[in-house]
Amino acid sequence: MSKILSVGIDIGTTTTQVIFSRITIDNTASYFTVPRISVLDKEIIYQSPVFFTPLKQQVFIDGDKVREIVAAEFQKAGFTPSQVDTGAVIITGEAARKENSKTVLDTLSDFAGDFVVSTAGPDLESVISGKGSGAYQYSIDNLCTVVNLDIGGGTTNIALFDSGKVTAKTCYDIGGRLIRLDSAGTIQYIAPSAQLIADKIGVKVAVGSQGSEAELSKITDAMADILAQSVGLKEFTPLAEAVRTRTSSKDMLRQPIERICFSGGVADCVKSTSDDLFAFGDIGILLGRSIRSNPYFAKARQIEASQTIRATVVGAGTYTMNLSGSTIYYSRGIFPLKNTPVYKLPAEVEDAIFKGDAEPLMEGLKWFISQASSSQIILAVKGPHNPTFQTLELAAGCLIKSADAVLPPEAPLIVISEEDIAKALGIAMSNASDKKRKIASIDSVSVEDGDYLDIGSPLMDGLVVPVIVKTLLFG
């Protein structure tokens, strides 16, 4: 048994946070099997204050100031980067769209070391925050559908969980910092989506004008109404589609929703009864009030989030790790790989490829690459039990076709499966390929959405490889 130190750094549209956790791990496998390292306990040992994300001219993240925040929090926590064993840096929301987000990640590279360093797309952030809020676990514990709305400064990330399964996710450009005011109540900034909503409902707002509670409340009431539409509580309108985040999925939440959960900074404002409506210099408190008074949300059954503003940073901060898997088929020169994102094929996509239809996988790959900001990925399938070789040939053809259409030529095609099909599938993929792309097929590995894999160099004369599954540990 051993303990490792983990750090999570979350840079969002509105806030930046740092969290340190102590993770207890041990080998839970028997003496006669491949080692399996599991998380036995996790303890948050330091969490930073919530800082406003420093920006330059409303557009650029100020990388130097973000670095100063992170460096100061390391010092307050009493740790140096060399003491940290694992962790993640995640840039989310509108911050991920800022032109210099990559520069910020580079600026923090010496704090991150070999961590998973990622700009989370809106769909991935929806799942991360929904798990961090406790909505995901509630849906498992109570065998029900729970929709989580993570309402931050610039966006609202939405994920629907059905007994632990993600069945829909999307994002809307609605948040508490879309209109900002100075201490005198003068409007300093209006985001395009807020301006669009104001124009559609006939409210006149402009930078430099005085912010009126009555007029701004009309805008936040319209925002709350759009959010009610987004989760199927009210008929969907063209205005709602107009403020849907362009890079998010168009998933419609068609299932009956049994519970609703709010996370993000605005979630605290939903419960707030503060008399100072502009205490944060924005419309966040007004938006919270509008959601609280919205008749559609008022009728819905709500659950309390275990984390609100810290949902994402808690999710990003720690990992579970498993060591398992044996390589059945691989091209030379692929391994080792580190911090490679996993695309777990949805059931309908997996069904399609085993029937010879590659189109859903191509679309899924394009979406995942846009979300993960990485062209090197690992595909994960459950796999059919005792399939015929003809069935595997159909799947192999679809995998090769999709990889050739979407992935760069130098990117290897790596497929992991839960069922014992890797050797036959690897041979089928090799037969279907032009031999230019490297291929690997590994079985007996179980992963979840949002996982990253480390795959080490082959051992035992190439018969096995160590596989470390690193899962964002939520809650």
Between 55-64, 214-223, 239-248, 452-461, the lowest mean confidence (pLDDT) is in 452-461
Q: Per-residue pLDDT for 193 more than 70?
A: yes
Nearest to 120 by CA among 152, 146, 147, 145: 152
Strand partners, 149: 158, 262
Whether pLDDT at 119 is above 60:
no
pLDDT of residue 323: 38
The most confident of 49-58, 330-339, 362-371, by mean pLDDT: 362-371
Q: Give me 44's structure tokens.
A: 């948050």
Check residue 196 and give its pLDDT: 97
Q: What architecture is the 124-308 domain classified under in CATH? A: 2-Layer Sandwich (3.30)
Q: Is the pLDDT of residue 306 over 50?
A: yes
Q: Where in the chain do CATH 3.30.420.40 domains reside? A: 2-120
Comparing 207 with 320, which gets the higher pLDDT? 207
In the chain the first and final C-alpha atoms are separated, in Å, by 22
202, HSE (Cβ side, Cα atoms, 13 Å): 0
User: Which one is predicted more confidently, 296 or 113?
Assistant: 296
Least confident of 199-208, 283-292, 314-323: 314-323
CA atoms within 13 A on the CB side of 473: 27
Query: What percent of the chain shows pLDDT beyond 90?
Result: 43
pLDDT tens for 209-242 read: 999 999 999 999 999 999 999 998 999 999 999 9
What CATH number belongs to 2-120? 3.30.420.40
For residues 275 and 398, the model is more confident at 398
Stretch 279-307: mean pLDDT, rounded? 91
Percent of the chain with pLDDT strictly greater than 70? 83
In three-state secondary structure terms, 109 is helix
Whether the full predicted model's pTM is greater than 0.85, yes or no, is no
* Residue with more model confidence, 40 or 191: 191
pLDDT, tens only, 129-186? 888 888 988 999 999 999 999 998 888 999 999 998 888 889 999 999 999 999 889 9
Can you give the length of the chain in residues? 475
pLDDT of residue 113 exceeding 60 = no
Stretch among 13-27, 65-79, 352-366 having the lowest mean pLDDT: 13-27
Range list of H helices, 36-181 = 63-77, 101-107, 109-112, 122-132, 135-141
**Cα Rg for the chain, rounded, in angstroms?**
23
Mean pLDDT of the chain: 83
pLDDT at residue 95, as a whole number: 63
Residue 288 has pLDDT above 80, yes or no: yes
Q: How far is CA 418 from the centre of its chain?
A: 23
- Cα angle, residue 316 at apex, residues 128 and 193 outer, rounded to 5°: 50
Q: Quote the CA–CA distance of 303 and 271 in Å, as a whole number.
A: 12
User: Which range among 120-134, 145-159, 234-248, 454-468 shows the weakest confidence by mean pLDDT?
Assistant: 454-468
